Structure 1
Amino acid sequence: MSAQKAPRVVAELGRPETYEETAARKAEQSRKYRANKTINNLWLSLIVCVGVVIVIVLLVPRNDSSQLASVDYRSVATSAQAALPVPLAVPDLPSNWSANAAEIRTGIDKTPAWYIGLITPVNTFLGLSQGVNGTDNWLADQVHNTIASGTTTIAGVQWTIYDNRTATRDVGNVNYALTTQSGASTYVLFGNASDGDFRTVATALAANVEAQPATAMVAK
C-alpha cells in the first residue's frame, strides 16, 4: 500500500489546511475565476457593441440638406396676396434655391408681414420679411435690436447693413441683415448666408421694391 500524501502546509497558517479550509479556498478560487470571466465577457460585449455602432454611423447615408419640407413660396404668395394690400415679394431665384416656409405673420405692434424662409444652394439660411406699415419697434425686433453698420446699393435700391458676424452677444438668426423701405413696405433680409447670396436675393427684389404703393390700408 502506498503511503498517504501528507497534507499541504499553508505558509500563512504555518500548518496543513483542514478539509474545510481547503474546500473554502477552492470555492473562493472558483468564484474569482467566474467573476473574472464575467468581466472579460462584459468588456468583449462592449467592444462588439461599439464596433457595431461605428459601422452603422459610417454606412448610414446622411443628408445635409434642410430637414424641413420644401415649400413652393410662389404658390403660397398667390394665395396670400389677397390678405395684404401691397404686392408681395416673390423673388425669382435659381432652381437650386429652395424655401422651407412661406406665410403671413403678425409681429410687434400687430405689424403684418409676408415671410419666406429661403435655403441657399450651400444650405445656409436667408429669411425675407416684408412688413406692411412696419413700425420702428417691428424693424428693431426683426434685426434682433442690433445696430446698423453701413449702407449698400444693389440693383438701384439702397439697403441698410447690419453686420453682426463678429457680435459677442446672441443675435439669433441675424448674423447679417439688409433692410430697406419703399412706400408702405419695409423689407428685411437676414440670416447666415454669404454676401453674394444676399445680393442675389436683393437683386431679385428690386422690381418689387420699386412697385410698392406710397400708402396701404391693412384690414383690421
Structure 2
Amino acid sequence: MSETQPDPQQPQQAEDAVTPVLTTKQAKRANATVMGMLIATGLTLALCLVPVLLNPSPKMQARNVDVTAAANQAAGDAGYSPLDPELPDGWTANYARWNTGENNGVPTWEVGYVTPGSEFIALTETNAANPTWVYESTGDSAVAGERQAGGVTWELRDSSSGKASMVAEVEGLTVVLTGSGELSEFDVLAEHVVEDLRGN
C-alpha cells in the first residue's frame, strides 16, 4: 500500500489564499481615512496653539510703584520706618505693601523689585522674625553659605525652586531678599538696604 505524499505546493497555496488583497476602491477609502485623521489632528493642534500664541508668557512688568508713599503710610502700623532704599537707575518696584501677619503672626513690610536685567527680587522686613518664618519666607530653603554686602554678613540660602535668598539682621530688623535675580543684583539691593537702615 503506497502512502500519499503531501503536495509541497499546498501550504503555499493556503497561505496565498489567506493574504487579503485590497481593491482599488478599498485602498482609496483606507487612504482617505488616514488622511482625514491627519487633517483632523493638524486642525486640533492649530486650534490649541492659537490661544497660546495670542497669550505669551508674561514678562516681569515694571509698574514703578511709589515705595516712599507706601512706606510712609505703613510706618504707623509697623512701629519702625519701613525700608525705602534709593536704588540705581533701572530698578523699579511693582508692589509695596504692609502685611499684618494675620496668617503667620509676623507682620511684614514687603516690596517687589524688578532688576535692570528684568529679574525679580522680593524684599521683606520685620521686627518679629522667628526661624519658622524665615524658613517659609525663603521658600523652605537650606542655608548654602554666607555673603558680604553693605558691610553686613548675609546668610545665603537656596531653595528647591531655584530661587536664591539672602537673610540678615540689621539694626534690630530682619530683612529677607528672595528672587530670581543674579547674586550681583542681590548685592546691589542688599547694599542699599543696609545704607537705608543705618541712615534711619
The TM tier, using the shorter chain, reads 0.5 to 0.7
- Give the match for residue 78 of structure 1: 72
2:142 aligned residue (131, 143, 146): 146
Question: Would the aligned equivalents of 1:115 and 1:130 in 2 still touch at CA under 8 Å?
Answer: yes
User: Gapped runs of 5+ residues in structure 2?
Assistant: 1-22
Letter in 2 for 1:72: V
CA offsets per residue over residues 153-178 of structure 1, 9 Å max, x none? x333x1323242xx7xx3x57x3222
Q: Computing the radius of gyration over CA atoms, which structure comes out larger, 1 or 2? A: 1
1:134 aligns with 2:129: yes
- Give the match for residue 198 of structure 2: 210
User: Aligned residue pairs: how many?
Assistant: 176
Q: Normalization by structure 2: what TM-score?
A: 0.67
**Cα gap change, 1:138/1:59 in structure 2, threshold over 3 Å: closer, same or farther?**
closer
Q: What is the distance in 2 between the residues matched to 1:43 and 1:109? A: 55
- Give the match for residue 19 of structure 1: none
Q: What is the distance in 1 between the residues matched to 2:143 and 2:71? A: 31
Question: Would the aligned equivalents of 1:103 and 1:116 in 2 still touch at CA under 8 Å?
Answer: yes
- Give the match for residue 90 of structure 1: 84
Does the residue aligned with 1:70 lie in a helix, a strand or coil? coil
- Give the match for residue 194 of structure 1: 182
Identity %: 18
Shift of 1:41: 3.5
Question: Would the aligned equivalents of 2:150 and 2:195 in 1 still touch at CA under 8 Å?
Answer: no
Question: Would the aligned equivalents of 2:170 and 2:194 in 1 still touch at CA under 8 Å?
Answer: no
Q: Normalization by structure 1: what TM-score?
A: 0.62
Does the residue aligned with 2:187 lie in a helix, a strand or coil? helix
Q: What is the distance in 1 between the residues matched to 2:72 and 2:181? A: 26
| Cα root mean square deviation, aligned | 3.7
Shift of 1:203: 1.8
CA offsets per residue over residues 104-163 of structure 1, 9 Å max, x none? 2217861211011222222322111101232343334333352251241x333x132324
User: Gapped runs of 5+ residues in structure 1?
Assistant: 1-27, 213-220
- Give the match for residue 112 of structure 2: 117
**Cα gap change, 1:199/1:49 in structure 2, threshold over 3 Å: closer, same or farther?**
same
Does the residue aligned with 1:110 lie in a helix, a strand or coil? coil
Q: What is the distance in 2 between the residues matched to 1:58 and 1:39? A: 28
Q: What is the distance in 2 between the residues matched to 1:204 and 1:146? A: 25
- Give the match for residue 172 of structure 2: 184
